[in-house]
């Protein structure tokens, strides 16, 4: 038997999430069984703990889009009992049962060996959000960003992706301007290494100006909406924005084509879910090297399976700071 957060849907279509004890034979098909140590809470988890937002296919469902743990049994030659592994993406926790459980069974192709220097707890403090932050930074670097080029903007900075992006960029020597709508998080953000904090309202006005003064050498954008529309017009000549999320909305409000054709600005789409194994491994290796673990510790809010319905609702309202680490065995 093992404990899991199970989401059920009643005849009226209303969902409820409770911690239940499940038999091992209820685990789905897969070639690797993992004893989960930790999971975390992402925006998508908030959706899947609740009505699902169209992501969950079948009920009862175990959410949790990422986890880290120890292989218990494997039918795949790449993994053996005792190996430490991390999983993010591949629609685990949405279409497939996920990490809000003491046990998970998945495809070996979806796993990444835990990089040296990271514990399973640290890996989930990083989680999908942190992996995505690293992928965004790698994409900016691949498009020529270096610390000498100037200031780098991080939007939604007090959130999960933003916090990890801020800490990694600062460690790499970048001067980070962190955008937040929560002024009370200013000390947290400068503690992560932000050189300065930009109030969100400075970037939310939708304008029809074709361009604004050049201000940013790069940007990790987690919010889109009117902020991305403004930021594109403020990018330096030839600079890139890594577009990660849509916390402020799925449209790029007020955007015009001018930044692309007059300043050669690049908008780089970042997807963590279907990233090939080699890129994931490269990103996890970089995280183990470039993310300061003392800063990561300041981002962590510890939680258990029973906290998840509350935290799922909170992340949908933008009220979670940094990274929740869920100890599924507590």
Opening angle at CA 284, ends 306 and 163, nearest 5: 60
Least CB distance to ligand NDP at residue 227 (A): 6
Q: Which is nearer to ligand NDP, 89 or 105 (CB)?
A: 89
Q: Which is nearer to ligand NDP, 162 or 309 (CB)?
A: 162
- How many CA atoms within 13 Å lie on the side-chain side of 78? 11
Q: Any bridge partners for residue 75, and if so which?
A: none
Q: Residues 114 to 143: which contact ligand NDP by CB under 6 A?
A: 128-129, 132
Binding region for ligand NDP (CB under 6 A) out of 110-118, 141-149, 150-158, 233-241:
150-158
Name the burial class of residue 78, with classes exposed (0-12), middle (13-18) and buried (19+) by CB atoms within 10 angstroms of its CB. middle
Of 30, 69, 160, 259, the residue at the interface with ligand NDP (CB under 6 A) is 160
b/e for 294-320, b at 16 or more Cβ within 10 A?
ebbeebbbebebebbbebbebbbebeb
| Strand ranges in the chain using DSSP code E only, listed in sequence order | 2-9, 15-22, 32-40, 66-74, 84-88, 103-106, 111-113, 152-154, 176-180, 196-199, 216-221, 235-243, 266-269, 300-303, 323-327
Pairing of strands 32-40, 323-327: antiparallel
Q: Residues 63 to 122: which contact ligand NDP by CB under 6 A?
A: none
What are the phi and psi torsion angles at 194 (to 5°)? -65, 135
Binding region for ligand NDP (CB under 6 A) out of 9-17, 30-38, 105-113, 270-278:
270-278
Q: Per CB under 6 A, does 51 bind ligand NDP?
A: no
Q: Per CB under 6 A, does 159 bind ligand NDP?
A: yes
Least CB distance to ligand NDP at residue 266 (A): 16
Q: Residues 215 to 254: which contact ligand NDP by CB under 6 A?
A: 222-223, 225, 227, 244-248
Least CB distance to ligand NDP at residue 59 (A): 22
Q: Per CB under 6 A, does 181 bind ligand NDP?
A: yes
Q: Per CB under 6 A, does 200 bind ligand NDP?
A: yes
Q: Per CB under 6 A, does 158 bind ligand NDP?
A: yes
Binding site for ligand NDP (CB under 6 A): 42-44, 128-129, 132, 156-162, 180-182, 200, 222-223, 225, 227, 244-248, 270-273, 315, 318, 320
């Amino acid at each position: 038997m093992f404990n899991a957060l199970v989401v059920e849907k009643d005849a009226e279509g209303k969902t409820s999430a409770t911690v239940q004890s499940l038999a091992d034979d209820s685990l789905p098909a897969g070639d690797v069984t993992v004893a989960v140590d930790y999971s975390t809470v992402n925006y998508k988890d908030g959706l899947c703990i609740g009505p699902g937002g169209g992501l969950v296919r079948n009920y009862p469902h175990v959410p949790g889009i990422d986890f880290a743990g120890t292989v218990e049994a494997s039918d795949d030659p790449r993994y053996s009992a005792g190996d430490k592994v991390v999983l993010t993406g591949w629609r685990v926790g949405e279409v497939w049962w996920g990490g809000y459980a003491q046990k998970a069974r998945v495809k070996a192709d979806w796993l990444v060996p835990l990089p040296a220097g990271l514990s399973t707890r640290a890996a989930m403090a990083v989680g999908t959000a942190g992996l995505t932050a690293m992928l965004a930074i790698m994409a900016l670097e691949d498009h020529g960003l270096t610390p000498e080029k100037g200031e780098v903007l991080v939007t939604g900075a007090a959130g999960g992706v933003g916090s990890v992006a801020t800490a990694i960029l600062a460690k790499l020597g970048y001067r980070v301007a962190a955008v937040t709508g929560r002024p009370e998080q200013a000390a947290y953000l400068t503690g992560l290494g932000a050189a300065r904090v930009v109030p969100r309202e400075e970037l939310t006005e939708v304008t029809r100006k074709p361009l604004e003064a050049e201000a940013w050498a790069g940007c990790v954008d987690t919010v889109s909406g009117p902020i991305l529309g403004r930021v594109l017009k403020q990018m330096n000549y030839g600079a890139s924005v890594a577009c990660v999320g849509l916390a402020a909305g799925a449209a790029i409000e007020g955007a015009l084509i001018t930044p692309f054709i007059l300043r050669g600005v690049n908008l780089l789409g970042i997807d963590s879910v279907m990233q090939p194994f080699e890129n994931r491994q490269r990103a996890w290796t970089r995280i183990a090297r470039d993310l300061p673990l003392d800063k990561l510790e300041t981002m962590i809010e510890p939680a258990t399976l029973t906290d998840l319905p509350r935290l799922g609702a909170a992340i949908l309202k933008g009220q979670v700071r940094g990274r929740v680490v869920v100890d599924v065995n507590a």
